[in-house]
Structure 1
Amino acid sequence: MVTEKIFEQDIQETTETETFHWTKQWYPVAVIDHTDTSRPYPFQLLGKNLVLWRNNTGKWSCFEDVCPHRLVPLSEGRVESDGTLMCAYHAWRFNSEGKCVSIPQSKDKETEAKNCTNSKSCAVVYPTQERQGLLWVWLESGEKAQVESKLREPRVVPELENPSDRVVKLFWSTRDLPYGWDLFMENVSDPAHVPVSHHGFMGSRYTEDKYYDMIPVKKISTQEGFSFEITPFKIPGIKQAIHDFQPPCHMRIVSELENDGKFILVLYAVPTRPGWCRHIGCQVLVKDEQGKRPKGLAFFGLPMPDWLGHVLASLFVHQDLVFLHYQEKIIANRQEGKYLDLVYTPNPQDKMVITFRKWLEKRAGGGIPWAAECNPELPPPEYDKRKLFDVWETHTKDCRVCQDALKNINRLKILTYVVAGLCLCLGIIIDARAIAIQAATGAIIETATSVSGLAVPPLGFWFAVGGAALFAFGGYKLQQLSRLFYVYEFEHADND
């Protein structure tokens, strides 16, 4: 292809011949502080149905989401106070190692003990670990997987491994997105879209569409990925920007500042099922030697509670979402040849996208090896944009901090409406009392405080009515805020 030949001298490859093994990897699947520990948590990874749960000692376990008895979902069960996971169908119980410890319908204790020792009664267990506030899962089970998983490190953030006063980690954010892992990685390999897609938020589509090149700084490697530097970089205060792809799921974007500080975007994308991926991300700010903290990504660098950051994340995520959802369907419908034969990429800004697609094709089998029980077909395109911009199903329902915040916002909303009603009642009482006093004392009707023979309500009335209006307006704004936990719509045509 012409494009590949043009940039061939810039896309360096190692001579590795191994193939990337998708199941022999660590994947971040949940943020610990955002996950409800009182119940099982179902999720998908490479099309496989899994369930996370935590026992009474605080240990997290990951099972295949299937009870060995009658193959019903364990995620529909319960986490019991004795530290076991109970299947809610027939009350079989499993410990954190997946061993069945109770079969209540057994003939007697001896029979129960015998059946529990049978390997067929055990749940299928996958290695897990906690690192940097995330839960990680290794997608192979068995004794060999337990050994192999200990030999590979997850793609963690080096700056967070050794605590320092200079390093500031902002909140983690999680979102299930209606497009595939490869579209996510392609998108974050493409800095050129940022001022256009995120116009008014991360630049201007009219003034910041400047030329730049992308220079490889790490050769393509099956296991280690590749990285590119943007050059020349013209944003004031930033001397270097590098995008570093670390398979299977990490894109590390580092902006090194002229004062030796750093701004790091930590982006994970986990392939969950065809047409979907899970994004987990945060910002890491490294202060300069004088202790000055970088600004970070737009207003997301400001101090804010996690739930507010999650709500506002839609402002950013939804600006790409529609593009990528439909792009994936268009590519699938035209997939008669290689991806790079379908697109026209004449500019050097697309070098990293081209490299990513070459890595996927030549090093990683061409795509995700979905689990056998998963339907590999892409879901049809969703033309109801309200469903595409859904926030409840893709985040809120599984985020403990957002659910707590939503409950508090709804309580506060009701309170403001109640106070507004009380203020209005108080105003009416004050006005009625003033009229009654005037009538009882024979007040003069035509005075400086009357208009057309009607007495002007006293000052207290106006304060009460003003308070009612203010609280009612506050309740309305809280109602608008609560809606953002369910859906946030966006149209580029309206983004002037």
Structure 2
Amino acid sequence: MALDTNIRDNIDNQTAQFLKEAESTFQWTKQWYPVAVAEFLDSSRPHSIQLLGKDLVLWQDNSGQWHCFEDSCPHRLAPLSEGRIESDGTLLCAYHAWRFDGDGNCVSIPQSQDKETESRNCANEKSCAVVYPTQELQGLIWVWAESGAEAQVESQLRPPRTVPELDNQDKKIIKAFWNVRDLPYGWDFFMENVADPAHVSVSHHGIMGSRYEDAKYYDMPRLREISTQEGFAFGVTPTASNIEQAFNDFQPPCHMRIATNYKDGGKLILVLYAIPTRPGWCRHIGRQILIKSDAGKTPPGLGFFALPMPKWLGHILASLFLHQDLVFLHHQEKIVAKRGQGKWLEKVYTPNPQDKAVIAFRQWLAKRAGGGVPWDADCNHQLLNTELEKEKLFDVWTTHTQHCQVCQDALKNINRLTVLSYLGAIACLFLALFLDGRYVAMQAVTEPANVSIWHTLPPLGFGLAIIGAIILATAGYLLKKLSRLFYVYKFSHADND
């Protein structure tokens, strides 16, 4: 009983210390981060991810539980993400076949002299993988950014930044699918961007309004004071006549909730997560939530993305939106870095109230969160080369498709349909030639006196076969263009009239 009391007292002391430290400076590594969407991952293999510059590996055991390890085998530091998930539910390092269970324990070293030696070596703590607390909530895989025994305790003291509406089963709530994308600019520039409603109608011209008609004045009153752990919230005023309230709510370390409450009771909620993966990059995970009005009317969503569509189609069409501000956010980060150290406000000119939330974010980062993301000491701190071709910046395959099982399956099906369409077009063309040849042969044996003008026209079957060939060839061409969106999507504001 004394042991239980000591353990409880120790946990209480850790809790008090944890909460005390949390009030002073934001602690980046003592947080939960959503690093992946569970349903988009291939559960039969391990996946490499990055968080705060750390190289990690995600994998799922036989019970369906996801685990996160440091992406290096304790034996010779080979990447575990290049390994295999075995039939017994263990993670195997493909270099020397060491195996690890979900707790990181080494359970097999096949090169051992005998079972006794293997058991002794496996029991050595040096043989264990480095484990990070992991859980699955609301379809996302969450990872605590520290490892070790203390991290296991501390991770239980702070819940992840989940979304209450996603746990609500009310039929009035429409929950769109998750989207995920790696973006070639930093976490702070993502958060700065989504704290800025003024850019929406300009940067997203054609999807979210007009740069010429909708770039108007508004104020951003503070709705919640800046807090180290809870962030801040700002409203938007004035709003359209049918809107009761619109606001941006930053919840560190990685959640921005953008909500529009309509006067009829409907709501649009944009759930935006940004995960700091490595310098110059972040992972965006987001979705829309639509709440019907009291009369059952569905509110307008984010452009056409609120329309019912397959998940894979929503994923590739997201490029139309995300790439509209991608290039200048990528370069903006490099321009700010070139200006050197110094206060952010001294580098920019922000005379209008539309920048209040952006300024608050930069103040929170500077005064409450140590000035920026504390990247892992072993990661490469060099930002992405700004001389990269735009096609590489607009790369969809590397930043999404190769990590998304849903999109990979859809791409395979589209490629099959493309081949079938072209084969069908060729078959129709041969059929048309056959029918035309047969018609010509019949004409050759027909008495000229008995031939009318209608007999000189090709048969109906020939025309239908030609039309079929054109339709199938066109379908194949369009499917080929559609498949291109899984790889790259270029965008230029100069061409977006």
CA shift for structure 1 position 443: 4.5
Q: For the residues of structure 2 that align with 1:139 and 1:301, how far apart are their CA atoms?
A: 33
Residues 336-393 of structure 1: CA deviation (Å, up to 9, x unaligned): 3211100000000001110000000000000010001112222321441000000000
Q: What secondary structure, in the 3-state scheme, does the structure 2 residue paired with 1:214 have? A: coil
Q: What TM-score, normalized by structure 1, do the two folds share?
A: 0.94
Match of 2:186 in 1: 180
Which 5+ residue runs of structure 1 have no aligned equivalent? 1-15
CA shift for structure 1 position 440: 2.3
The structure-2 alpha-carbon separation of the partners of 1:227 and 1:428, relative to structure 1 and needing over 3 Å to count, comes to same
Does 1:22 find its partner at 2:23? no
Does 1:317 find its partner at 2:343? no
Q: What secondary structure, in the 3-state scheme, does the structure 1 residue paired with 2:214 have? A: coil
CA shift for structure 1 position 301: 0.8
AA of the residue aligned to 1:76: E
The structure-2 alpha-carbon separation of the partners of 1:290 and 1:446, relative to structure 1 and needing over 3 Å to count, comes to same
Does 1:308 find its partner at 2:309? no
Q: How large is the RMSD of aligned CA atoms in angstroms?
A: 1.2
Q: For the residues of structure 2 that align with 1:184 and 1:328, how far apart are their CA atoms?
A: 10
| 8 Å CA contact 2:31, 2:144 repeated in 1 | yes
CA shift for structure 1 position 256: 0.2
Q: What secondary structure, in the 3-state scheme, does the structure 2 residue paired with 1:81 have? A: coil
Match of 1:7 in 2: none
AA of the residue aligned to 1:415: L
Q: Pick the aligned partner of 1:391 from 360, 373, 396.
A: 396
Does 1:189 find its partner at 2:190? no
Match of 2:297 in 1: 292
Q: For the residues of structure 2 that align with 1:331 and 1:84, how far apart are their CA atoms?
A: 46
Aligned length: 476
Q: For the residues of structure 2 that align with 1:417 and 1:467, how far apart are their CA atoms?
A: 11
Q: What secondary structure, in the 3-state scheme, does the structure 2 residue paired with 1:319 have? A: coil
AA of the residue aligned to 2:219: D
What aligned pairs does 1:98-117 form with structure 2 within 5 A after superposition? 98-117=104-123
| 8 Å CA contact 1:382, 1:388 repeated in 2 | no
Residues 120-177 of structure 1: CA deviation (Å, up to 9, x unaligned): 0000000011110000000111111111101111111111123211211101000000
The structure-2 alpha-carbon separation of the partners of 1:113 and 1:351, relative to structure 1 and needing over 3 Å to count, comes to same
Match of 1:356 in 2: 361
CA shift for structure 1 position 73: 0.3
| 8 Å CA contact 2:272, 2:287 repeated in 1 | yes
Residues 102-130 of structure 1: CA deviation (Å, up to 9, x unaligned): 00000000000000000000000000111
The percentage of aligned residue pairs carrying the same residue is: 66
Q: What secondary structure, in the 3-state scheme, does the structure 2 residue paired with 1:231 have? A: coil
Q: Pick the aligned partner of 1:374 from 379, 382, 386.
A: 379
What aligned pairs does 1:2-41 form with structure 2 within 5 A after superposition? 18-41=24-47
| 8 Å CA contact 1:420, 1:467 repeated in 2 | yes
Residues 266-312 of structure 1: CA deviation (Å, up to 9, x unaligned): 00000000000000000011112222222211111111110000010
Match of 1:167 in 2: 173
| 8 Å CA contact 2:184, 2:384 repeated in 1 | no
Match of 1:93 in 2: 99
AA of the residue aligned to 2:68: C
AA of the residue aligned to 2:431: L
AA of the residue aligned to 1:265: L
Does 1:326 find its partner at 2:331? yes
Match of 2:242 in 1: 237
What aligned pairs does 1:327-476 form with structure 2 within 5 A after superposition? 327-444=332-449, 447-449=452-454, 455-476=456-477
Q: What secondary structure, in the 3-state scheme, does the structure 2 residue paired with 1:322 have? A: helix
Q: For the residues of structure 2 that align with 1:394 and 1:301, how far apart are their CA atoms?
A: 23
| 8 Å CA contact 2:23, 2:229 repeated in 1 | no
| 8 Å CA contact 1:228, 1:244 repeated in 2 | yes
Q: For the residues of structure 2 that align with 1:288 and 1:125, how far apart are their CA atoms?
A: 45
CA shift for structure 1 position 445: 8.7
